[in-house]
Structure 1
């Protein structure tokens, strides 16, 4: 693994990492925004791909910068990291909010996107997702501990979390009580709530896989099905379980599936 710090035009310093070798695969995480989200999959994917991950602005090892945070800015940050690493084109995999980010890249920088994987992603939020994240936004402001607890409980499949309870304990050990951290999380929630890709989805030309889990309680399967239906020629694969964080809880299924699809080894898949 190699690491570097990438400076954006507005002064944010993004901590980026490079793993493995092969065709570049850029991994963009969701609301949490950490490169570490992908750690469970790196060992399985790094033998075939050059994996690029980074902490998003204001998260973990990256500084905030001065630019307003919205999905367009977060997409620009991804391309800034790619430029710094000399990556002209790549496969892009975005999870949850990361799916909104890479959808935007597929439209605004289509020539840089070889293949697109949209994991636990959506096109437009709908009433359920809006209500859920507005509720989480209120919890963040009034009860940070409950915010962290609800995030852990919603993100994992209950049976898996019961058997891996240390994940819950780690996720809830340090709730976002610092006002500066709360502000960063809040602006990221507002950014995802403001995203609606309806007016641009028709311009996504990249070969696309929509991938998720049927028991996702954060981005329900119907939103992922709607996304796939709007993307001409997109393939849809919904795993029977795994929750929202299925890339970590079902890594041994998720990583080979992604690798096979990107490499063209998988036949056309349907849910």
Structure 2
């Protein structure tokens, strides 16, 4: 069965099949307790949701993102059928230390965090910059990583429009939150989805992570630009990934161009691809219900 046919079958089946869970936790991302664990000289902050049994799904966050930047509609829904872990990497949010400015260090720290929790095998959901870390973890630690979801991301050397798009987002008048432009299309449907997303991510009132400042933005920006500008002409990292991978992106990702996700699909041996219409960098948040159904099926089969 060729890869394209497998992708179509995966997406079609995911519309109607959602695996059933077992024991459920009552907590949600909006209310989950922030915990801490020491690893690699860092006191990592994290939150866990969902049942205790099953393969944990580790969320790897985007440029300047902290735990409260995740969409509860995605996190809470995926936690119904599996353990879910969100965390802040070195120097971000309520995790201490100097923020890393390269993907190698971020990957090393993420691996140390997962090891500190005692997990022998995990699944990964890497969004945007987090997708770079997910690729490196999958390639370097095949014994640890079972399955991978790469959302709104690209490959090493795949290029980026970070500075251009950030400039456009912040040049608008009365900008309340740039993610309405960075993550969503500017159609009426996209704007409605953006407003709904922002209301969800600000739902947590108590114990929110501190917002990321210039130090984090500068370090993450350097890491993102260097990684996406460093050629890997033989796709060595992608060729090393043998796990099943679900690649998800929007029809017009303006920050990490959609073509990069198509290359991920083509060059990773066991990759499947989902493209959402009329969507930008944050397609998994605009189409959160469809994405969760697809991700659930992918992770459970």
Q: 1:80 to 1:227 in 2, by over 3 A?
A: same
Unmatched runs of 5 consecutive residues or more in structure 1: 172-179, 265-271
Which SS does the other structure have where 2:56 is aligned? strand
Q: Is the CA contact 1:4–1:17 (under 8 Å) kept in the aligned structure 2?
A: yes
Q: Is the CA contact 2:180–2:191 (under 8 Å) kept in the aligned structure 1?
A: no
Say how many residue pairs are matched.
Answer: 252
Match of 1:42 in 2: 75
Whole-Å separation in 2 of the counterparts to 1:19 and 1:166: 22
Q: 1:147 to 1:181 in 2, by over 3 A?
A: farther
Whole-Å separation in 2 of the counterparts to 1:44 and 1:236: 21
Q: 1:250 to 1:67 in 2, by over 3 A?
A: closer
Q: 1:229 to 1:16 in 2, by over 3 A?
A: same
The equivalent position to 2:274 in structure 1, one of 237, 243, 263, is 237
Whole-Å separation in 2 of the counterparts to 1:215 and 1:137: 16
Whole-Å separation in 1 of the counterparts to 2:118 and 2:173: 41
Q: 1:145 to 1:188 in 2, by over 3 A?
A: farther
Q: 1:58 to 1:138 in 2, by over 3 A?
A: farther
User: If the length of structure 2 is used for normalisation, what is the TM-score?
Assistant: 0.73
Match of 1:156 in 2: 184
Q: Larger relative CO (CA 8 A, sep 6+): 1 or 2? A: 2
Match of 1:122 in 2: 154
Aligned-residue RMSD, C-alpha: 3.1
Q: Is the CA contact 2:100–2:106 (under 8 Å) kept in the aligned structure 1?
A: no
The equivalent position to 1:33 in structure 2, one of 24, 45, 65, is 65
Q: 1:185 to 1:214 in 2, by over 3 A?
A: same
Q: 1:143 to 1:61 in 2, by over 3 A?
A: farther
- Greater per-residue helix proportion: 1
Q: Is the CA contact 1:44–1:256 (under 8 Å) kept in the aligned structure 2?
A: no
Match of 1:175 in 2: none
Unmatched runs of 5 consecutive residues or more in structure 2: 1-26, 28-32, 202-211
